[in-house]
Structure 1
Amino acid sequence: MEKSTMKNSKLPKKSPSASNMMEQLPQKVILHILSRLPLISLLQSKLVCRAWQILIQDPLLITKHFLHMAEAHNDPSFILQSNWPIPDQLYFIDFSSHTEGDDQVIISKKLPNFAMFMCLADSCNGLLCMHNTSQSIYICNPFTRLYIELPKLTKYARPGQLWLGFDPISKVYKVIQIVFQRYLRRSLGNSFVPSQNLIQSEVQILTIGSLAWRNLGMIPYRLIRPTSKVMVNGRLHWLSKPNKYTTASSLISFQLATEQFQEVPKPDCCGSSLDRCFHGLVVLRGCLSAGSYHENYEQLEIWVMKEYGVKESWIKEFSIGTTYVPRTFNQQDIIFFNNSRLHFPNSFVGILCILKSGEMLLKYNGRALVLYDPHQGTFKDLTFPEMPNQFQIVEHIGSLKWLEIPS
């Protein structure tokens, strides 16, 4: 008869619960581990147990996680927003999980919108600035769905161009609105006449936590549409038309601490000539950078300011052919794309970032995302399920962070 082994068999040990594991590890070690998780994984960890939910909502972990995401040498993440053809589509795109050879962005998470018919304006420190078609402007965290509505600015029928910035000196967030005045009146003695040739814009600013906007007056600039700001050296930067009769662009900066505008020097090759003016700004490896077209808009040069504020430090670092047409384009997209070469060069092709692989992420008319390999000279379309065919996109650090408003 076969001897029974039942007495000698051992039942499997019960796995320790998440709470027990947390009790066995020092708090410092737990924070160190969790602060290095991708945001999506951190959000999923809240579902493990109530103890983890409480821990992940701890302000110390939220701050530690944000600082790690901001300082880590990872590929960036983005918020992509679209109202066409389906309204209120909001996606988080994480390129840190994109692997070489993929035809798709690995992680794309559709986010719930907190209000209807919202338009994406800007991103800063894990927060979004959004507005609707009326006068309502919001600051929100798309992951926690926390939001505040800013005080109304009733002077205009709808918001102008909006940007969100953080002043590291005073530790406050500020929203800047710039509205181009198409027709201003200038004083001629005691009479007033329309001035159609004068380029001026009105600047409003709001320190978040205050009750009212402040008027900073007029500036002699018209920001080029569509335009996005870049933050370098504690300053916001934009491209502007210096006057009505030139296509050349000026590079202007705004210091959040002093609330002063200043022009930034450009290289000599980007003077007043049409084919050498800047058409888009980006931060590459911490340096202020800009795109410049030439040769009938078939080449996009990327210029980098290696030493901030030093005109002689501008160098041409990349040259990208712009004749590639994304495979996702339909016939109407192709027609619009070709027309953009001459009529909308600032929205034609733009660079978003350089990935760790050395590939460059390009956007095409807000209708396609493409990876360009500068070493091989090859292009690769990027898509994800339900990707809209018209969108706005901004670089965004996914975070559970919320506003710290001084009392």
Structure 2
Amino acid sequence: MRLLCLDLEVEDKGGFFAYPSDFVELDCSHKPINQISTIVGSSNGLLCLTHRYRNDSQYQYLYVLWNPSIHKAIFLPVPDFRLNSNRHYALSHGFGYDPTTDDYKLVRVVYVDGTVPPQVEMYTLRSGGWGYLTASGPANVIADWTLSVFMNGVVHWLAQTPNGEGNIRNVIVVFDIGHEEFDEMPVPKSLEGMEHLNMEVAVFHGLLALVPCNGNEWELEGEESYSIWVMREYEVVESWTKRFDIDVGVGLRRVVGFTKNGEVLVIKGGKLLSYEPSSQEIFNPHIRSRTESFYFSTYVESLVLLNVEDGE
């Protein structure tokens, strides 16, 4: 088991950083993994990526499952719900493993012109195809620049009530991979009504967390935006606790992950930095890339995909 940071900035190549040791380059020329790819999530050594490209005047998305340890990646089939240039779309994704069926699932949430509920499709590796969910989609809007996390068999996203529906309410939208159902969880009371909550969900040493995230170019607003919140007991709202604040100065874009020795890995000014909360010391490992290119996770080598054919 290794703790890895993946940088997708260089076209046709990917890079694993076995943090904090040296950069190890992987040859990814056989599949479209480049600077406009984003990692949705990982499970059992399998990475799920979205590859965004422009088709005429509209962005479209390809999906790839990639197992670096066996040097294999497969295209997923094109989803049934097609995007067109006459509408505005906001997409969110989640990826996880369902142990009850021994299956890997990718859920795609598509908001059309900002309306709710969204269109929801799910790909399963066992079926090799997409299908629409019969269950109702979330009644809240997931910000398309925030990432999801998968833990306890559930995908989590930070979301907000739709525009024009009264007071702002921030919630965590959850999707149970096994039961294929949406629900919601509360955020800390002090964050519930914040209009510009520049945060996203994360995992802090096995616990659900909320961390700073600036999906836009302007500076984060309010001191709460620099705090790490942890849910000490899963699904218990009273257990939300502000663990510590992050002080790395102006320009914080995203919290990437946490190391076992207590460091916080953040992105600032296109650089990966390590922040030590107790001493407030900042270490620069001299790794640069776009904010969206970094993905930090515990990685386990596996044989998943070994006998799976390309879905294209």
Q: How many angstroms does 1:304 deviate by? A: 0.5
Structure 1 unmatched ranges of 5 or more? 1-68, 99-105, 184-197, 325-336, 338-347
Does 2:294 match 1:379? no
Moved over 4 A (4+): 245-248, 292-295
Q: Is the 8 A contact 1:252 1:264 kept in 2?
A: yes
Match of 2:66 in 1: 140
SS in 2 for 1:136: strand
Equivalence map 1:183-332=2 (5 Å): 198-216=115-133, 218-245=137-164, 248-274=169-195, 277=197, 279-291=199-211, 296=222, 300-324=226-250
Match of 1:162 in 2: 93
- The whole-number CA distance in structure 2 between the counterparts of 1:354 and 1:128 is 19
- The whole-number CA distance in structure 1 between the counterparts of 2:282 and 2:120 is 40
Q: How many angstroms does 1:176 deviate by? A: 1.0
Taking structure 1 as the reference length, the TM-score comes to 0.62
Does 2:25 match 1:110? yes
Q: How many angstroms does 1:147 deviate by? A: 2.0
Does 2:259 match 1:355? yes
Q: Is the 8 A contact 2:77 2:130 kept in 1?
A: yes
- The whole-number CA distance in structure 1 between the counterparts of 2:248 and 2:285 is 17
Match of 2:16 in 1: 92
Q: What amino acid is the match of 1:80?
A: D
Q: How many angstroms does 1:309 deviate by? A: 0.5
Taking structure 2 as the reference length, the TM-score comes to 0.79
Q: How many angstroms does 1:79 deviate by? A: 1.6
**Larger RCO, structures 1/2 (Cα 8 Å, 6+ apart):** 2
Q: Is the 8 A contact 2:254 2:291 kept in 1?
A: no
Q: Is the 8 A contact 2:142 2:159 kept in 1?
A: yes
C-alpha offsets along residues 177-231 of structure 1, whole Å, 9 cap, x if unaligned? Answer: 1111116xxxxxxxxxxxxxx4332110011131431111543232113221112
| CA distance 1:354–1:253, shift in 2 (3 Å) | same
Q: What amino acid is the match of 1:300?
A: Y
Match of 1:61 in 2: none
Q: How many angstroms does 1:284 deviate by? A: 0.7
| CA distance 1:273–1:148, shift in 2 (3 Å) | closer
Q: In the alignment, which of 245, 249, 268 is matched to residue 364 of structure 1?
A: 268
Structure 2 unmatched ranges of 5 or more? 54-59, 214-219
C-alpha offsets along residues 57-106 of structure 1, whole Å, 9 cap, x if unaligned? Answer: xxxxxxxxxxxx2xxxx7x2122212xxx5234111112xx3xxxxxxx2
- The whole-number CA distance in structure 2 between the counterparts of 1:379 and 1:322 is 7
Q: Is the 8 A contact 1:77 1:398 kept in 2?
A: no
- The whole-number CA distance in structure 2 between the counterparts of 1:211 and 1:227 is 27
Q: Is the 8 A contact 2:207 2:234 kept in 1?
A: yes
Q: What amino acid is the match of 1:212?
A: G
Does 2:299 match 1:403? no
Q: What amino acid is the match of 1:401?
A: L
**Equivalent residues, number:** 281
Q: In the alignment, which of 70, 77, 82 is matched to residue 4 of structure 2?
A: 77
| CA distance 1:398–1:81, shift in 2 (3 Å) | farther
- The whole-number CA distance in structure 1 between the counterparts of 2:307 and 2:106 is 14
Q: Is the 8 A contact 1:92 1:109 kept in 2?
A: yes
Q: How many angstroms does 1:248 deviate by? A: 4.8
C-alpha offsets along residues 87-136 of structure 1, whole Å, 9 cap, x if unaligned? Answer: 234111112xx3xxxxxxx2211211122464133222211223432553
| CA distance 1:287–1:303, shift in 2 (3 Å) | same
Q: In the alignment, which of 288, 295, 303 is matched to residue 394 of structure 1?
A: 295
- The whole-number CA distance in structure 2 between the counterparts of 1:210 and 1:111 is 29
- The whole-number CA distance in structure 1 between the counterparts of 2:227 and 2:304 is 38
Q: Is the 8 A contact 1:300 1:322 kept in 2?
A: no
Q: Is the 8 A contact 2:14 2:33 kept in 1?
A: no
Greater gyration radius: 1
Give aligned-pair identity as a percent: 23
Larger relative strand fraction: 2
